[in-house]
């Protein structure tokens, strides 16, 4: 596999962009909206700019328990947020060598206001700079499309639950 353009999923959510951004900028909400079922617990405060770091405890059947340190590399209040994960801890011996090594992939959210109470939310996974082994493992990012779709559904539900009726 030589090239993998970013993959993305979009959903219109009938909630203002600022409200949605607030939910996404708080890593504690990520396990609540995670459509992959892999995110367990976040540490680190609300993201306030490029250079912020938060940690996510994770689990999947393939890798077992592990932790990722997420380095915020994109931040535009109310509009865009993105981070690049780096493995911090791994339970499998074969993953120990990846600890501290950037895999050059990025998760981002882009919010486009469509009006006072409506936002187009796009989740983006970009592994275009990742090593071949990672691009192959995630099928150029297409492996995550179902989970990304479920994440945006959960974000929609969570954002509406937080709005007084």
Percent of the chain's residues with pLDDT above 70: 96
pLDDT at 115 over 90: no
Among 109, 100, 106, 115, which residue's Cα sits nearest to residue 67?
A: 100
Map out the domains of the chain as residue ranges.
7-161
Whether the predicted pLDDT of 122 surpasses 90: yes
**Residue 164 has what pLDDT?**
53
- pLDDT of residue 1 exceeding 50: no
pLDDT per position as a tens digit, 59-114 = 998 888 999 999 999 999 999 999 999 999 889 888 888 888 888 999 999 999 99
- Let me know: does 48 contact 26? Beta carbons within 8 Å: no
Digit-coded pLDDT (tens) for 144-157: 999 999 999 999 99
pLDDT-derived band at 162 (thresholds 50, 70, 90) equals low
Q: Which CATH architecture has domain 7-161?
A: 2-Layer Sandwich (3.30)
């Amino acid at each position: 596999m030589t090239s993998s353009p970013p993959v993305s999923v979009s959903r219109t959510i009938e909630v203002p962009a600022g409200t949605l951004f607030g939910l996404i900028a708080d890593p504690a909400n990520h396990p609540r909206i995670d459509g992959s079922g892999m995110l367990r617990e976040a540490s680190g405060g609300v993201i306030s700019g490029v250079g912020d770091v938060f940690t996510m405890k994770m689990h999947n059947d393939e890798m077992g328990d592990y932790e990722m340190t997420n380095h915020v590399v994109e931040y535009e209040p109310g509009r865009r947020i993105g981070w690049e994960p780096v493995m911090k801890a791994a339970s499998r011996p074969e993953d120990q060598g990846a600890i501290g090594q950037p895999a050059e992939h990025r998760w981002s959210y882009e919010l486009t206001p469509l009006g006072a109470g409506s936002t187009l939310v796009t989740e983006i996974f970009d592994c275009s700079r990742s090593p071949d082994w990672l691009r192959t493992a995630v099928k150029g990012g297409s492996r995550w499309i179902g989970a990304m779709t479920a994440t945006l559904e959960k974000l929609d539900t969570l954002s509406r639950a937080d709005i007084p009726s």
